[in-house]
Structure 1
């Protein structure tokens, strides 16, 4: 069964977007997963992924936006549990494409690792760039697991800062931390993860995430109520046991008939009904009903008298 993260990414690769917004997505994919090469004195580009749907997305975006025919290369892994590597390779038109995407400077001499200003200044481009960034370096825990977590890995600090800025533009309360020779931006709050999925266009995944989250939270609430009820029952049983021990002690050391009538009545009711709550006991006592606080006061008095008797006999 496909992981929740792969389901999210599959949905994202099937979205149709405006060409200007598609450029923002493509620039994130290339900036994060691309490698420049020199072949026959020509600038080449390899973009690598383990996800075949992302590889197809890369290929189609390059074809749609720049009419370039890239090659799709599959590198098969012989080791167990190792995914195939998919390489989208472009051998021509690399320099003008990267300059248009503002990954290369206008002179074509240096690589810009930061997110372009024109993306940071326009919300729809930000959404598309975050979609590409999540496809390239993002992961998300299955919401049925013990904790909620979404992150995007960046190799460069200034790129990480751009992703952080874009995510918090949408009030996602994102945070950042160093990780494995790079940086991550991450989300821990379930509501914010759901909002992020909506921001990048993973609507179906967002609805599934919310369904699972609501069911999980409901189960947790039920468990808390059951645990609380169990704890209260345990306290009731323990308290009743102590009360009955006190009553038995007084009975065997002088008898209950020396007690005031109201204490005799509550003692007889408690011995006859050891399992009931104070409220229920108040309805069963002779001369009742009496309030819960009244029952508690009388039983506490019996405990005190028994403790005093034990102290005298000791």
Structure 2
């Protein structure tokens, strides 16, 4: 299973949230993966995906938001390594018009190219819209190989509106032409981590962070020519664990919430992940011995475990 598919499966299991967020997520998905067929007086809306979990989520979103069950069809592929295609279909003209209107996909009887202003007002709806866009037309590479996340859309206006949504979360995306449409992409690992956080792919975020930290540590270790080989594995593992703990604290409560002694050590560890405890102690003001540094690190790790446990209980 690819990293992108794991992330999408995680998102497909998320709670739906309020009706405004359901509409925002569904609007993004229909915009990017939906087609309207008109034949005489018959109007049909088809929404496709190759992900079974996403198809179930689409079906449930339609049912919960509009109080009717669309058709769910499966087109099976006989060729190896080809996923089945799942088709969510609404075949009644009045229901199609209702869906397109509620989701802000038509304006004055014509297809809307941008994002409905209603989905830009609240942060929860902006998150939901971006989640729907990623589920529909997004991908993220395995961080072991490269840092790359992208979303494809047909319309330039829609691409610019998506970029504007991302900017509200401090994420600067690039846009390029791709075939007949436009591709939004990120290559900065920090920005990809923030995007995964925004859309709620927290397990994927942690997996991405673990790989990123390990890769960074490997690169740093390779440059430390005087580092004792026998202690590399143990030191790197401890440093990775400490960095993970501090980053979790930073995300949950911020380093400024720490006591000054712990805050100074936490920032030094982030700045110098390759440093030994003794070296960190020498950087402190006033300097501190290895045992004292170790004691403070244990306090930081204990706090991170407490915060993680509180987060799980809150769910």
Distance, in Å, in 1 between the alignment partners of 2:2 and 2:225 is 32
- Which runs of structure 2 are paired with 1:21-100 in the superposition (5 Å)? 21-38=21-38, 41-92=41-92, 93-100=95-102
- CA shift digits 1:2-36 (9 cap, x unpaired): 11100100111111121111110000000100011
Give the aligned CA root-mean-square deviation in angstroms: 1.9
Task: Structure 2: give runs of 5+ residues left out of the alignment.
Answer: 229-315
Tell me how far 1:170 sits from its aligned partner.
0.8
| Aligned pairs for 1:37-186 within 5 A | 37-38=37-38, 41-92=41-92, 93-105=95-107, 107=108, 109-145=109-145, 147-186=146-185
Whole-angstrom CA distance in 2 between matches of 1:51 and 1:98: 23
How many Å separate the matches in 2 of 1:69 and 1:123?
29
CA displacement at 1:205 relative to structure 2:
1.1
**Higher Cα Rg: structure 1 or 2?**
1
Aligned-residue offset at 1:227:
10
Aligned to 1:212: 211
Runs of 4+ residues over 3 Å off in structure 1: 226-229
Aligned residues: 226
Counterparts in 2 of 1:61 and 1:227: CA distance versus 1, 3 Å: farther
TM-score (norm 2): 0.68
| 1:194 aligned onto 2:196 | no
**Inter-partner Cα distance in structure 2 for 1:186 and 1:227:** 39
- Deviation string, structure 1 residues 251-291 (Cα, Å, up to 9, x no partner): xxxxxxxxxxxxxxxxxxxxxxxxxxxxxxxxxxxxxxxxx
Give the distance between the partners of 1:78 and 1:70, measured in 2 at CA: 26
Contact in 1 for aligned 2:163/2:172 (Cα 8 Å)? no
